[in-house]
Amino acid sequence: MQKFIQVNNSRLYCETSGSGQAVVLIHGFTLDTRMWDDQFLPLAQQFQVTRYDMRGFGRSDVPTGEPYSHVDDLAGLLDELGIAQAHLVGLSKGGAVAIDFALTHPGRVLSLILIDTVLGGFAWSAEGSARDGLVWQRTREGGIAAAKTSWLTHPLFAPAMGQPDVAARLEQMIGDYSGWHFVNENPEIGLEPAAAFRLEELTMPLLAIVGELDLPDFRRITDLIAGQVPQAHQVMVPGAGHMANMEAPEQVLEAITAFLVSI
């Protein structure tokens, strides 16, 4: 099922398939539902799986000048779909949204599966911050097209870009991305206090997956979560980078499925 749902004065695109316990897939920054193509239907053989484009990405509306929250958007989406509780699976930015949602609505989260996740309030390295800043510098110099070129050449994507089929999919998604966040002040509301200072509050089962070749900051985040969350399990995907679910789809699907059926 493909549909647009009106949530918090914004139209969000989502797809749902399968039956059983609810699983929600949350994509990364500049990406969209298509990054889950290798996991969506296989998971739907055992679960009711929903994937959606967050506000500002894919086919969903871009933000207006009004403050908004991805956590509130997800809560509204689940309400509209009649989903009381769900397993949340998020990659990178999507992982940060899943964590913040679990801290805000712990009773609605059956488990968390975080892949190469961002963590709100994490102190990024000087190297990581500088390379991210280069994308916005390129935007000021050459607009959205220059920003996308810089983003695709980010070390974050280097392992993925070494696989031609994965590279083509990433280029398609980032090519289709509006570029809104590169040229606008984002009025997104973050969680206060930030998630990095509240990890012990996450009492649900949690699986933290990280690519062996992901950047050091993301490996540190995964170690931090694994060390502070009571029910956390950690899995490293050999030979994979930041886009572990696209670079090593079968291994990540197996890890997700084994975790879900074990809890």
Write the pLDDT tens digit of every residue in 163-222: 999 999 999 999 999 999 999 999 999 999 999 999 999 999 999 999 999 999 999 999
Q: How many angstroms from the chain centroid is the CA of residue 127?
A: 22
Superfamily of domain 2-125+185-262: Alpha/Beta hydrolase fold, catalytic domain (3.40.50.1820)
User: Residue by residue, what is the 3-state secondary structure of the chain?
Assistant: CEEEEEECCEEEEEEEECCCCEEEEECCCCCCHHHHCCCHHHHHCCCEEEEECCCCCCCCCCCCCCCECHHHHHHHHHHHHCCCCEEEEEECHHHHHHHHHHHHCHHHEEEEEEECCCCCCCCCCHHHHHHHHHHHHHHHHHHHHHHHHHHHCCHHHHHHHCCHHHHHHHHHHHHHCCCHHHHCCCCECCCCCCHHHCHHHCCCCEEEEEECCCCHHHHHHHHHHHHHCCCEEEEEECCCCCCHHHHCHHHHHHHHHHHHHHC
Per-domain residue ranges for the chain? 2-125+185-262
Please tell me the distance from the alpha carbon of residue 15 to that of residue 38, in angstroms, as a whole number: 14
Taking only the tens place, the pLDDT of each residue in 23-56 is 999 999 999 999 999 999 999 999 999 999 999 9
Is the per-residue pLDDT at 131 higher than 90? Answer: no
Burial readout 238-255 (b: 16 or more C-beta within 10 A, e: otherwise): eebbbbbbbbbbebbeeb
Q: Would you say 116 and 244 are in contact if contact means Cβ atoms under 8 Å apart?
A: yes
What does the pLDDT read at residue 142?
93
| Averaged pLDDT for residues 240-263 | 97
What does the pLDDT read at residue 93?
98
Whole-number Cα distances in Å, 131 to 23, 124, 155? 33, 11, 8
DSSP state letter for 57: S
On average, the pLDDT of the chain sits at 97
Is the per-residue pLDDT at 136 higher than 90? Answer: no
| Averaged pLDDT for residues 66-84 | 98
